[in-house]
Structure 1
Amino acid sequence: MCPKTLLEITNTSDANLDITLWSFWITVFLQSMKPLNQLKTIHNEHYAKLQSKHASETELLDDMRMYCKQRASIEREYGQSLQKLVNSFLSKKEFTTQSSYSSDNDAVLPNKQHNVWHIWYSLLAESNNLALSHLRASDNQQRLSTELKPLKSQRLSVNKRVFEQLKILQGDLAACVQEMVKSHKVYAEEEKQAQETRLKTLAAKEKYSTSIGRIPSAIAILWERTNQLPAEEEIRKRRWKWIGHTPRKSSNCITRQALTWNPEGRRKSGRPKSTLRREIKADMERMNNNWKELERIAQDRVGWRMLASGLCSFTRSNRRK
């Protein structure tokens, strides 16, 4: 736990101290978890929140439907009762006689004020209109309640498909994270091996530099330290070994004739100037010999080996100079 975090927790009030400590330890716990377990925890939390939201919205739809249904029943009952009450008063005989009489008086005296019967009739008419409006409101509430019922079933089916797709997506994401963790593990192991190899290389380089002195700056020095012949001298040695067999063959042999063959004309541009005959001629000039002398020495195998080894040692000594 870092000192800054401890200081922040200490400075909090006593009321929020428990909440702060709880949040801090949850954060530490999540950071110490493996990525796959942490991802599963986050997925479970999101899934639970989504299910809670879906349940609350479904419950809200049920409440709305029940409210519309009960209000439709109340509105219908109130409208029917009010309409029945108004009709009971409008159907009275005294009210019918007085209303016809008052209408005759209004026709005779149109400028006079309305009498009480006319006001009573207006009140009953408005009450009847109010009852009809309550019945219309009841029909509207009943229609809303009917429309909300398939909406709930439709929402349930949609949420079911959403949850299934969410599970699939979470599974794919978990598989990707698992592959990433495996790749990271392999990368960490390879990085560790590479670091160990680098350390071993540095140790071997230091050991070699202290034991020998320093790494050779030229390949010739390395050949000299390892007692190996350069590739050019090895080729020359094998070439003269083969030449030693060739002069012992008959004069009609094509292999023997190829050593002294000098074609006429000029070589094409780009072709190397150093040919086999020219290289053999240059080696003969170093030994101060000619073909006749070499054919005579080739008859003696031991003498030819001494000649070839002397040529290679002579070339090596000239290169050192």
Structure 2
Amino acid sequence: MEHSPISISVNCLIHLSDQNGIKLNSQLTAQVTALLTSQSLSLIEGNGPFAPEILCDFWSHGQEHIKYRRATLEALSQSELKIEASQAELEIIFKDFFAEEMLIRVVTAVFTASDHQRGQCQAEPIARSLFLSFLDVKRIILKILVSEQGLSNEVMKRINATRRSIERWTDMLLGQYIQRFGLEEFAHDAERARDFGEDQLSQSTAPHAGQAWNLIMAGLRVSFPSGLTSQTSDHWEAMLGAILACYPFDCFNQSATMKSLRQLRYERSGFLPESSPEQLPEMIRRRMQGLSETSGSTEKMSKPQTQPPGSKTSPVPQSQAISFSQLRNRNSEESS
């Protein structure tokens, strides 16, 4: 039984959410980002338009999620009193948001490259609008950090170290797409992202190129250890489901995991039109026609063996039958 892209996306997200028995936290958000990045070429190389209702879900759920984040953080930034939330809670909120910004940067870059490759303007404006909303909320977070309100130096150092680590991960995940499509505006450090991109493209044809993503996933689990997560609404998971639904149906396995790009290209090659002699180069077409003419005239060229000189009787072809009267006449001639 076939599954729609939306149902597969939801199953994938449920699997990720149930992995630790909690809502999506920064670790799961980072792993989903890596999953989307590893398969983004299958989306960028597509040629059909995106479903408008899926893009609408992506934008609406993303805006609702960012409104929730903004309302929480604005209350903290505008308070003249000491922040009521504990430092541990603020650290979790900031870490989760920085991970969400990493995902939205990657998704916006991928949608931009997809529109440019397809010669359309459909997903890029929606993704950019959401990306700008995230940057506006990030401005509020940086304002809170600069004000040093209710945060110790140690907590601020950890938050800043987390921010810089996530920025490096973002540039690494964006590296190959910045190198391929020139999307430097989405990187935190364009030169660093290009260095990552050059290395990734040089290893893309290696025999075990797919193992690099296993190492990336392992590194993300170390950088984003599982644990507590900030309170959020269901809009974030619904937005991720809309993003996954934009990916082509044939890049998913029935087990709700994504296929490798190599496997996807192999499967798609079977749907390409077969070449006919008229579409082949002239030299190859002539040689193919010459071979077919030679094989068709083989029977005409083959001749039965002639009777050697001095022989009295003619050999009878194997396919020719001999009648009884012919055999009796021959015996009478030999006896006389």
Task: Indicate the TM-score class for this superposition, using the shorter chain for normalisation.
Answer: under 0.3
Tell which has more relative contact order, 1 or 2 (C-alpha 8 A, sep 6+): 2
* TM-score, normalised by the number of residues in structure 1: 0.22
Q: Looking at secondary structure, tell me which structure has more helix per residue.
A: 1
* TM-score, normalised by the number of residues in structure 2: 0.22
